[in-house]
Amino acid sequence: MNLLFEYSFASKYLQLSQGRLHYLDEGAGPAVVLVHGNPTWSYYYRNLVKTLSSRFRVIVPDHLGCGLSDKPLDFDYTLENHIDNLLLLLNHLEIERTSMVVHDWGGPVGLGAAADEGVELEKLVILNTAAFRSTRIPFRIRICRWPLIGKFLVQGLNGFAGAAVFMAVEKKMAKEVAKGYLSPYDSWNHRLAVYEFVKDIPMNPAHRSYSTLVQIEKSLENLKNRRVPAAIFWGGKDFCFNDYFYEQWKDRMPEAEFHYFKDWGHYVLEDGKGRIETLIDQFLRRER
């Protein structure tokens, strides 16, 4: 049992070839998979897990290198490999039909897995993310990609995860909560995946993950054609995934539900705590 603030769940692990993948498996009922981004981990979903687990089986993995998963130094931290790891977990748990909640990097990772022919996506909840190409990137993230300087900022000074606990929210984060977010990223080596996620943002066709993102982008059309029910809950004060991305989702998934919160930041589950969990729960429980 974990002893972090508001995170009293039983840890489970799947042994992969390059380390153990940590995940939560709470509740019973239809499956819902919650996929986190960077630099968060399953801690981001702690309150949503508590709400959903009374009616659903809630699966929350930590990507390899993140959270309570192992943090191998020789793993190739690419979008494709994170998708493959998620599919290995779903196969291990014999989950073929599931709803999904995605945030930040969880968007392309989760939707990449949902595009697999062995996964039937029942419903989709999108929280401030993108799963399509864009050339937009804030300067404060771009600098973290610079050779040498970026690695020193992210892995040495913890300038990505450490900054996120106040830059990604509009409501001041409690010290205990900030400590929970940062606890897995307490050393240079333990912040490798955080840096690799930043490096893995595909900005041009020559990038290692560009072709993977193109395939995920194409899969969105299939979701629309299959009329998979989707709901977008969006924080309007996100410095990274700003209103441009919100409008992109409206164009790509016009039949989805759209919920816009002008005073919430990137960590919508933090700024919307006490409200957004109920809204997501109501959407997932609603009959198609």
Which CATH number fits the domain that encloses residue 162?
3.40.50.1820
Question: Does residue 7 lie within any of the structural domains?
Answer: no
> What number is the average pLDDT over the span 66-76?
98
C-alpha torsion angle, residues 226, 112, 59, 237 (rounded to 10): -90
Confidence of residue 288 (pLDDT cuts 50, 70, 90): low
Sign of the CA dihedral with 95 first, then 80, 107, and 143 last: positive
Contacts of 254 (CB under 8 A, 6+ apart): 224
What is the per-residue pLDDT for 219?
Answer: 95
What is the tally of structural domains in the chain? Answer: 1
Q: 135 vs 189, which has greater pLDDT?
A: 189
CA angle, residues 71, 124, 209, in degrees to nearest 5: 45
Question: Does residue 2 lie within any of the structural domains?
Answer: no
11-47 pLDDT per residue, tens? 999 999 999 999 999 999 999 999 999 999 999 999 9
Domain range enclosing 127: 12-285
Question: Does residue 172 lie within any of the structural domains?
Answer: yes
Nearest alpha-carbon partner for 170 in 42, 47, 272: 272
Phi-psi region of 248 (alpha: psi -120 to 50; beta: other; left: phi over 0): alpha
CA atoms within a 13 Å half-sphere pointing along the CA-CB vector of 100: 29
Whole-model pTM? 0.96
What is the per-residue pLDDT for 3?
Answer: 74
Nearest alpha-carbon partner for 166 in 248, 102, 241, 239: 239
What is the per-residue pLDDT for 224?
Answer: 87
